[in-house]
Amino acid sequence: MKLKDNFLWGGAVAAHQVEGAWNEDGKGDSIADHLIAGSKNKKRYITPVISRDKIYPSHFGIDLYHLYKKDIKLFDDLGLKCFRTSIAWTRIYPNGDDNEPNETGLKFYDNLFDELNKSGIEPIVTLSHFEMPYNLVKKYGGWKNRKLIDFFVKFAETVFNRYKSKVKYWMTFNEINNQSDFQSKLALYSNSGITECPLKDSEKTMYQAAHYELVASARTVIIGHKINPNFKIGCMLAMAPIYPSTSNPKDIFKAERANQARYWFGDIQCLGMYPVWLKTYQKRSNWNLDITVSDLNILKKGTVDFVGLSYYMSMTVKVGDDEDQYYTFYEEKDKVKNKYLKESEWGWQIDPVGLRFSLNWLNDRYHKPLFIVENGLGAKDKVSDNNEIHDQYRINYLKSHISEMEKAIIYDGIDIIGYTPWGIIDLISAGTGEMSKRYGLIYVDQNNKGYGTGKRLLKDSYYWYQNLIKNNGINLEN
């Protein structure tokens, strides 16, 4: 029993975490370019004006903008069949509301996709990966504003037309459901470009912004299929299954509601409609959200071809003493540690079986092909005197997750398009802005401040993955 021959083994990154060159060749500043570096215990925050004495890691990334040819050579030697990245919206429309696209920006992705295709590596492209034009935040308030739909659709249409013969797999919004953690400022900002929002309004604001994004996503799917009927356009969910902490029925319902609150985005993108619990909740909350009949028709028509997902961890929740009728999910408050799981240095609870669980759960719910477009371990690496990196911990992480994925394919019969480990090459962490939270199988000699030679070194995990791809997986039954 083997995986199908065209299984897409790959690697994943996002523009703002690797490209650098944040203001070159006509690129505008994105929301990522205003985020300063943080750490495990120091939250990232934004500065409206770029300040000289602060560190903005997206400004340097790992300089992929200039080094992409060399890096693609390393991906090719590794044997990658696909490579996931995003298009920086601000390279194409620097301000988001420009009339004409920036030709130099378009040219960069022509070159990038050509180089990949030449090497036989299929590009997998996210349209919006936490990097909308900052101008849209300043001028329109980000996704709080309905106008954003047209700006986004125009951007999507431009790149669909330009790359229609070079790219087949697309995803609309990266981890659109991160903002279900609506009390997290970073989530609201990264997903929706929302900077000003009193805590008491954050839930309502999230539901409104997410609705506009979902309409934009659906319109994009519809237009994409017209431009090229062979396009495969997916959603992208941050998958972290939520478990009850005990068999107390209240904990079980708490977990059910938390899953509903975290994955309704997928219900809309895959099934084309709002789940009834949410319609009821929104109505009873008297928020008077701007959701029109025409929007609902678009949502029904613009359903996705596949479900892209990231998977890093599971979550466990406990019912509170003061639950309301709705068991509203407040991620920070409701989460507890799962005593059966170990965690990464950044406190993410590692749960390979949870991946098989998630794949089954998503398959039961949506009946669409799945694509694991992120999975990996953020860890500190040590370079030995002879320039080797012995990252057995990363190999263990990847191996245990790939093994559970293969079980989902072989024993559960689930249709999975491919697997792209996150940060195939070391990059800037989205959550903390650190370089030292490394995911790569390729090491980049650079510290948190952006200093270093930038030299690329191959980790043990690189050779391990190379061999795995050659064998088309672990092959459980061998």
Q: Cβ closer to ligand P53: 102 or 174?
A: 174
Q: How far is the CB of 161 from ligand P53 (least distance, A)?
A: 26
Q: Cβ closer to ligand P53: 101 or 234?
A: 234
Active site residue 203: no
Residue 222's identity, in one-letter code, is: I
Count of residues for the chain?
478
160: contact with ligand P53 by CB under 6 A = no
Q: How far is the CB of 346 from ligand P53 (least distance, A)?
A: 7
β-bridge partners, 428: none
The residue from 122, 203, 374, 404 that is catalytic is 374
What mask, x for binding ligand P53 by CB under 6 A, covers residues 430 to 469?
A: xxx----x--------------------------------
Contact yes or no for 433/418 (Cβ under 8 A):
no
Alpha helices (H) along 228-289:
249-266, 276-284
- Residue selected from 102, 259, 260, 310 as contacting ligand P53 according to rule CB under 6 A: 310
Task: Output the CA–CA distances (angstroms, integers) from residue 333 to 179, 326, 337, 393, in the order listed.
Answer: 15, 15, 12, 30
272: contact with ligand P53 by CB under 6 A = no
Alpha helices (H) along 132-271:
134-140, 147-162, 185-192, 202-227, 249-266
Q: Cβ closer to ligand P53: 15 or 92?
A: 15
237: contact with ligand P53 by CB under 6 A = no
40: contact with ligand P53 by CB under 6 A = no
| 432 Rama class: left (phi>0) / alpha (psi -120 to 50) / beta | alpha
- Residue selected from 243, 422, 462, 465 as contacting ligand P53 according to rule CB under 6 A: 422
Separation CA 10–CA 12 (nearest Å) = 7
Q: How far is the CB of 49 from ligand P53 (least distance, A)?
A: 24
Q: The tokens of 221 are what?
A: 């799917």
312: contact with ligand P53 by CB under 6 A = yes
174: contact with ligand P53 by CB under 6 A = yes
The residue from 131, 175, 203, 404 that is catalytic is 175
Q: How far is the CB of 431 from ligand P53 (least distance, A)?
A: 2
441-450: long-range contacts (C-beta < 8 A, 24 or more apart)? Answer: 441/11, 441/78, 441/394, 441/465, 442/71, 442/74, 443/381, 443/383, 443/389, 444/62, 445/383, 446/60, 446/62, 448/37, 448/55, 448/57, 449/37, 449/55, 450/55, 450/57, 450/59, 450/60
Q: How far is the CB of 242 from ligand P53 (least distance, A)?
A: 13
Q: Are strands 122-128 and 169-173 parallel, antiparallel or unpaired?
A: parallel
3-state secondary structure of 82: strand
Q: How far is the CB of 375 from ligand P53 (least distance, A)?
A: 9
Q: Cβ closer to ligand P53: 14 or 149?
A: 14
β-bridge partners, 399: none
Q: Cβ closer to ligand P53: 174 or 282?
A: 174
Which residue is nearest to ligand P53, using beta carbons?
431
Active site residue 374: yes
Which residues carry out catalysis? 175, 374
Interface ranges with ligand P53 (CB under 6 A): 14, 17, 174-175, 238, 310, 312, 374, 378, 422, 429-432, 437
